[in-house]
Amino acid sequence: MKVRAVYALILLLAALPWFIGSRYIFHIATMITIMIPLVLGMHLMVRIGQLSLAHPAFWGLGAYASALLTMRLGMPPLLSLLVGAAVPSLVALAVGPIFLRIKGVFFVLLTFAFGEIVDLIFQEWTGLFGGNSGLYGIPKFSILGLRLTQIPHYYVLGLIAAILVYLLMRAIERSDVGAILESLNEDEMLSRSMGANALAWRVAAFVVSAFAAGISGGIYAFYIGFLSPDPFGFQTIVDLIVMVTVGGAGSVLGPVLGAIVTVPLPELLRDAREYQLMIYGVCLIGFMKFAKQGLISFIVDKRRGA
Amino acid sequence: MPHKGVARGETAVIAQMIVNGLLGGLIYVIMALGFTLIFGIMRIVNFAHGEFYMLGAVGVLVLFGNFGMNYFVAVVVAGLLTGALGVIAERVLFRSVVGEEMPGMIMSLGLSIILQSVVLLALGPEEQTVARPFSGIWRIAGAVVPWDRTVVSISAIIILVAFYIFLKFSRLGLAMQAVAQDPTTASLMGVESGTIYASAYGIACLLAGLGGALMAPIYTIGPYMGQSPMLKAFVVVVIGGLGSIPGAMLGGLLLGLTESVLATLMDSTTALIASFGVVLLVVLMRPNGLLGRTVR
Amino acid sequence: MTAPLLVVDSLTRRFGGLVAASDVSFTVAPGEIFGIIGPNGAGKTTLFNVIAGHYRPTAGRVSFEGKDISGHAADEVGRRGIARTFQAVHIFKNETVRANLHRAAVLARRHNPLTWLSRRPHATPDLEGTAAFLGLDMLLDNVAGSLAYGLQKTVGVGLAMMVGPKLMLMDEPAAGLNPSEKIAAAALIRRLRDERGISVLLVEHDMPLVMGICDRILVLNQGMPIALGTPADVKSDKSVIDAYLGEDYEFA
Ligand SMILES: Nc1ncnc2c1ncn2[C@@H]1O[C@H](COP(=O)(O)OP(=O)(O)O)[C@@H](O)[C@H]1O
Ligand SMILES: [Mg+2]
């Protein structure tokens, strides 16, 4: 029942911006909804026991791809959002069969190096990505002739995407696929002996999680209207790890809570980055020391997750 | 990398590449040894390793730069303070996540950004410098060798020899080596496992602190200066084989040389991409590292 | 003469310089319980791991139902109808017995995301029936890791059964069990064959158990096969007694 209360609280928080009506609150709320698919993508990998540091790069690939498809090819925004999100998925499909043979810290380093290369490409391939000076002039998002011009419009778009991705991840977790992924994570040798193709399932998870990151990136691109390589580097890795840790990896609801609690922080502490770092650090250490399962462990018991 | 393409003529260029590679590589070795020690013994990827390096440099900034202490004394004191902080961090934080890969990584990431923010609060975001205690150059085979880097390298070699003697001849060192080879041997060596963890983390931080202290006059000092050395250590250790001490030595020198060659042959971005590419390749082809054990 | 189910032909596996299994050949007939014995380190588990596809053979071949499966991946071997239990308990400890069995069926059926939708689910044994067969029906809702050791091993057998195998490789199923549990384990292995038609390849140290239920036995020593035959043949084999059983070994 506590889970219901949390859902109700989240719904209430989601409606809050309309009651307050401030643009600033709408902006923070929009950023939260944008981060949710991304952190849920990262979380899917954590669930299969692989800490992927490639996700900020997937996020960036989705962002740049969506923006460029609209700007260069004149694709309708909704289509370019979906096709743009497929780009990191395809990249994940290409590198996954190689990367996912590797486990543990090696995978961490591998995905980190991969992410750095992608970020360097964003910086250096100025002809396509605009380099460090950025990619300007991303058109507004539009759907069925409706142009999204105001922050609240993007909030609604973000909310819809966040809810859809959340439902998708929850469906995966509760389905046979979730059972397979968890089995592989718990005991790979046993699971394989029963016939599961471990690598194929891991790649599938990687592809889906990259798609979630790509969707998040696309919405981010249309919302901000300008892209630079900045957000797609190491700082976002830290943010995502903080979200998953604070919220808790044990359930799909965990990272959502983590995003809700964490995303406003840098916005609120915009002029005091040192305090933000301090709070992040204290959160990471505190949760690892006292509540490894994150906030979610106080709400749902471990067995039947939300 | 600094000092590139100074010398003319082919042998001089090659000599310069080797000199630069060795100068850079020695510091990587010092960083990587501690990093691999912590991983080998505690199964923790120490993302805070670079911050201990940074603290060593800050120590020299304060003791030598502000208080005018003798440079070498300042280096030793900064290193010892960093090591002591490492012992405390192990006892208070890391003891509870020994052997757990993911919590260990997250914990050390947390410590890393806390230390960054503390230094950011104390020093501000501006990069600082300390006066170079040594200046001038000398030449070998046409290659230019700055005196300050020479002093750093000689000190690094002394530290490495001392570390080697400690590992080979002290009871604690032998116990640490045994545990790094096979975690189940801890109790067999008759040394309490807590002592081994504390000394491993402490000594690793001492090494990182000394490395940062030595490098303080050479690079600028700031809260984020440790990130790159930490990454290099991570790379070296993966290339050399996680937990392998000879691997860290070989890997450090190899990375130093590779970087120096790449930096001579290409522009810095291409070199960076190429070096990450090398990392990708090594991890993919030899997931246990060049000198890592192939069987679990 | 029916065609053999499993043919192991001159199989060798090295680890660096160590030859863990050396030129091992034997066949398992349909409906047979075939035992492998040998002292610790003889290479029995290694042999299992090679047959099951966890290790590649250094040399030699394995075929199952007439098809070459040497060097096939573990999941492929599993899908062809070879299930296995492990020397150490391998089950999903945090899940209930029911969830364990369910997972096994799912893993066997939905082995690959691409065939997820298109593939006709192949029939897996009925969960309740399997639990009843194993005497686990009253424990279905207990968390597997909380059961007694012997029962955890039984759950391991249940996982292997849920795959619907024709051959089950069992690595020391009686190790760590008390005498009455050992008797039950022996009976269970027989019933697997008699009631479920599953052939069994068995590694076991408990001599009375092995001698009592196996149709034929292969004796390994330091990776080398030293005898192959019925329990009676093996018991009286001179080289077996010298190399392994020793003078003071008690036969049941
Ligand atoms: N993965 C491995 N790497 C190296 N040596 C191994 C490996 N697995 C088994 N061995 C060696 O092979 C030999 C046979 O072991 P094993 O098959 O487990 O014997 P058994 O099951 O008969 O007791 C032993 O000497 C063991 O140390
Ligand atoms: Mg064995």
- Sketch out chain C's domains with CATH numbers: 1-81+166-177+197-245 (3.40.50.300), 87-164 (no CATH)
Report the pLDDT value the prediction gives residue C246, as an integer from 0 to 100. Answer: 56
pLDDT in tens, A126-168: 888 888 888 988 888 888 878 888 888 899 999 999 999 999 9
The predicted structure's pLDDT at residue B7: 44
Q: Is the pLDDT assigned to residue C221 strictly greater than 50?
A: yes
Joined tokens for residue B154 = 């000689």
Q: Is residue A265 within 8 angstroms of chain B, CB to CB?
A: no
Is residue C160 a contact partner of residue C167, using CB atoms and an 8 Å limit? no
Reported ipTM: 0.89
Following DSSP, what letter does each residue of A153-175 receive, concatenated? HHHHHHHHHHHHHHHHHHHHHHS
Give the model's confidence band at B4: pLDDT under 50 very low, under 70 low, under 90 confident, else very high. very low
Flag whether residue A238 sits within 8 Å of chain B, measured between CB atoms.
Answer: yes
CA dist C209 and C185 (Å) reads 9
CA distance B235 to chain A (A): 8
pLDDT of residue B279: 75
Distance from CA of C93 to the nearest CA of A (A): 9
Nearest residue of C to residue A302, measured between CA atoms: C94
Q: Domain residue spans in chain B?
A: 27-225
Residue C245 has pLDDT above 70, yes or no: no
Number of domains in chain A: 1
More confidently predicted of C159 and B128: C159
- pLDDT tens column, B159-185: 999 999 998 899 888 888 888 777 676
A298 to A182, A295, B100: CA distances (angstroms): 22, 6, 22
What span, in angstroms and rounded, lies between the C-alpha atoms of A166 and A258? Answer: 13
Among residues B55, B87, B111, the alpha carbon closest in space to that of A286 is found at B111
Interface-testing mutation among A89, A100, A193, with chain C (most C C-beta atoms within 10 A): A193
Residues with CB under 6 A from ligand 1: B 295; C 15, 18, 20, 38, 40-46
Mean pLDDT, residues C2-20: 90
- A302 pLDDT band, cuts 50/70/90, is low
Q: Is residue A112 part of a domain?
A: yes
pLDDT of residue A234: 84
Query: Whole-number mean pLDDT of chain B?
Result: 85
Q: Which ligand places an atom closest to the C-alpha of C87?
A: 2
- Interface contact flag, A109 B238, Cβ < 8 Å: yes
B180 in Cβ contact with B245 (< 8 Å): yes
Place of tokens 């009976």: C187
Q: Cβ–Cβ of C114/A192 closer than 8 Å?
A: no
Chain B interface includes A167 (CB < 8 A): no
Among A119-123, A170-174, B222-226, B284-288, the range scoring the smallest mean pLDDT is B284-288
Cα(B34)–Cα(A13) distance, integer angstroms? 46
Residue of B197, B196, B208 lying closest to B81 (CA atoms): B208
Answer whether C215's CB lies under 8 Å from C33's CB.
yes
Give the confidence band of A46 by pLDDT, cuts at 50, 70, 90: very high
Per-residue pLDDT at B293: 47
Say if residues C35 and C225 touch (Cβ distance below 8 Å). no
pLDDT at residue A274, rounded to an integer: 75
Alpha helices in chain C (DSSP H): 44-51, 74-79, 97-109, 115-118, 127-134, 149-162, 179-196, 207-213, 231-235, 238-240
CA C14 to ligand 1 center in whole angstroms: 9
Contact between chains at A187 and C79 (C-beta distance less than 8 A): no
Output DSSP code: residue B291.
S
CA distances from C118 to A169, A202, B75, C121, C248 (A): 22, 19, 67, 9, 60
- What tokens appear for B229 in the block? 């050395």
pLDDT tens column, A129-139 = 888 888 988 88
Of ligand 1's atoms, which has the minimum distance to the CA of residue C49? 17
Residue A101: give the domain boundaries: 24-229
Q: Which helix (H) or strand (E) holds A219?
A: helix A198-224
Q: Which residues of A touch B112 (CB under 8 A)?
A: 281
- Cα separation of the two ends of chain B: 37
A190 within domain boundaries: yes
Query: Nearest C-alpha to atom 21 of ligand 1 is from which residue?
Result: C45
Name the strand (E) or helix (H) holding B264: helix B245-265
Closest residue of chain C to A192, computed from CA coordinates: C75
Using pLDDT thresholds of 50, 70 and 90, give the confidence band for residue A276: confident
Higher pLDDT: C186 or B277? It is C186
Residue nearest to atom 8 of ligand 1 (CA): C46
Model pLDDT, residue A249: 87
- Residue closest to A278 by CA, chosen among B230, B119, B62: B119
Which residue, judged by its Cα, is nearest atom 5 of ligand 1? C15
Give the residue on A whose Cα is nearest the Cα of B95: A289
Interface-testing mutation among B113, B268, B281, with chain A (most A C-beta atoms within 10 A): B113
In three-state secondary structure terms, C227 is strand
- pLDDT confidence bin for C123, thresholds 50/70/90: low
Q: Which residue has the higher pLDDT, B65 or C122?
A: B65
Q: What is the pTM of this model?
A: 0.88
Decide the pairing of beta strands C216-221 and C33-37: parallel
Q: DSSP state, A296?
A: G
Q: Which is higher by pLDDT, B179 or C57? A: C57
- In this complex, the chains that touch B, judged by 3 or more CB pairs closer than 8 A, are A
Find the C206 Cα to ligand 2 centroid distance in Å: 13
Centre of ligand 1 to C-alpha C21, Å, is: 9
- Which of C52, C90, C116 lies closest to A187 in CB terms? C90
Q: Which residues from A are below 8 Å from C77, CB to CB? A: 193
User: Which range, A175-184, A206-215, C52-61, C85-94, has the best average confidence (pLDDT)?
Assistant: A206-215
| B189 band by pLDDT with thresholds 50, 70 and 90 | low
Average pLDDT over residues C27-48: 92
Encode pLDDT of B241-296 as tens digits: 777 888 888 889 988 888 888 888 887 777 777 777 777 777 777 666 665 544 33
Q: What is the pLDDT of residue C142?
A: 93
Rounded to the nearest integer, the mean pLDDT of chain A is: 90
Find the length of chain C. 252
**Mean pLDDT along residues C180-204:** 94
Segment A185-201 shows an average pLDDT of 92
Contacts of B14 (CB under 8 A, 6+ apart): none
